[in-house]
Amino acid sequence: MKALINLVACVLLGLAALGQSTSTAPALKPRPEPAPAEKQATPENATPAPDTPVITIQGLCEKLGGNGATPADCKTVITRSDFEKVAPANLPGPQKKRVADQYIQALILAEKAHESGADHSPEFEKQMAFLRLRALATAGYQDLQKQASNVSDSEVEDYYKQHIADYKAINFDKLYVPKQKSLETSAQKPNDPELQKKREASEVEMKAEADKLRARAAAGEDFAKLQQAAYDFAGIKQAPQSTHMENQRKSSVLPADAAIFDLKKGDVSEVFNDPAGFMVYKVTDTKDLPVATVHDEIARTLQAEKLKAAMDGLQNSVKTTLDESYFASPAPPTLRTPGELPVQNPPPPGKK
C-alpha cells in the first residue's frame, strides 16, 4: 500500500506549474476524529494547525486482513501538514482546491490499483524505479544549486571590478530617422516593382538626410529640433516623442548600438543602421553604478556560473560510450520494394 501512496505523491509532484515539493504522501489508514472538546473555533481566514484535518474521505481506507472487507469506520484523513507535503502552503485557494481534487482522485485510484494487485506488477516496479531515479537526480541538482548559491561579498566585489564596463549607466539624446518617406501607395500593389524601386530610392535619400542631421548634432544643435526636422523630411505629421533618455544600461539598447557606451560625455555617435531606422546618439552623462545597487544582479550571475561549472565538472568526470548501431537514426523512407536494387542513372546518349 505504501508504495502506491508514494506513487500518488510522485504523480502530484509532476504538477511543476504549481511548484509541488518532493515529499511522500501520507499512508492510507483510518485516523481517529478529534473529540468535540479538542476542537477549537478557527477564524475564517486563519491557517489551521499542522495536525488539523483538511481532507476527510469517507469510505476510503486500507482493507484489513487481505479479504477485501471494509472496516466499520472506513475513512482517510489528511492533515494540513500531510497535504502541504505535496502542495505549497502559499497556493491561492482555487489552485489549492484543484490540487486537493487531483490528490483525492489519485488516492482513490491508488487504492483500486492496490486491490487489483497492480502495485506488484513488473510495469509498476519499472515506473517506480524511473520515478525514484528522477527524484534522486532532482535532489542532486538541488544540492549543486545550494552549493552554487554561496556567493561571498568579496566575490561580488571582484567580479564588479573585472566587469566594471557592464555596470555603467549613461544618459543620452537619441535621434530617430525613418528609413522610408511617407509614400502614397494606396493605388499600388504590395509587390509592384515600381513601388519597390521607390522604397529603395527613399531609403538612400533618408540615409543621406541622417548623415546631414548627424553632422548638425555634432555641431551642437538641439536634438528635439533635429528630430522634428527628420519627421518633416520624411513627411510624418505626428509630433515626435522626447529624444532624451536617462540611466540606460547596455542591455537597454540594441547590441549593434552598444558602442555608444564607449563614448565620452558630449560625444556624438555614428549613424547606426538599425532595423527600425537610422539612429544617432549623443551622450550627455556617464556614471558607474555603485556595487551595492548591482550586488544581487552580480550574485545571480556568479551563481549561474558556479552551477554551470559544477554541472560541466560532473559531465567531464565520466566517459560515456554509446552503441551507435543501437542508437542510430532510422534510414530515410524509400518507395523501393524491399530487396530491390536502386535505380541507376542512364548513361549519356551515345555511350553504353
Give the whole-angstrom CA distance, residue 51 versus residue 65: 28
Give the pLDDT confidence score for residue 192 in this predicted structure.
75
Residues whose CB is less than 8 angstroms from the CB of residue 315 and which lie 6 or more positions away in sequence, other chains included: none
- Return the ∠ at Cα 62 (arms to 61 and 64), rounded to 5°: 125
Dihedral sign from CA coordinates of 130, 136, 140, 145? positive
Residue type, 328: A
Written as nine digits, the cell of 245 is 533618455
Lowest mean pLDDT among 29-43, 63-77, 104-118, 331-345: 29-43
Is it the case that residue 63 has pLDDT exceeding 70? no
Q: What DSSP designation does 204 have?
A: H
In the chain the domains, ranked by start, together with CATH numbers, are: 2-34+47-148 (no CATH), 157-289 (3.10.50.40)
Percent of the chain with pLDDT over 70: 78
Residue 202's H or E segment, with its range, is helix 193-218
Give pLDDT tens digits for 258-301: 999 999 999 999 999 999 999 999 999 999 999 999 999 999 99
- How far is residue 6's CA from residue 56's CA, in Å, rounded to a whole number? 19
Which tens digits make up the pLDDT trace of 224-243?
999 999 999 999 999 999 99
Q: Do residues 56 and 85 make contact, with C-beta atoms less than 8 angstroms apart?
A: no
Please state the pTM of the whole predicted model: 0.61
Strands (E) located in the chain: 53-58, 75-79, 168-177, 244-248, 272-274, 277-288
Residue 86's pLDDT band (cuts 50, 70, 90): confident
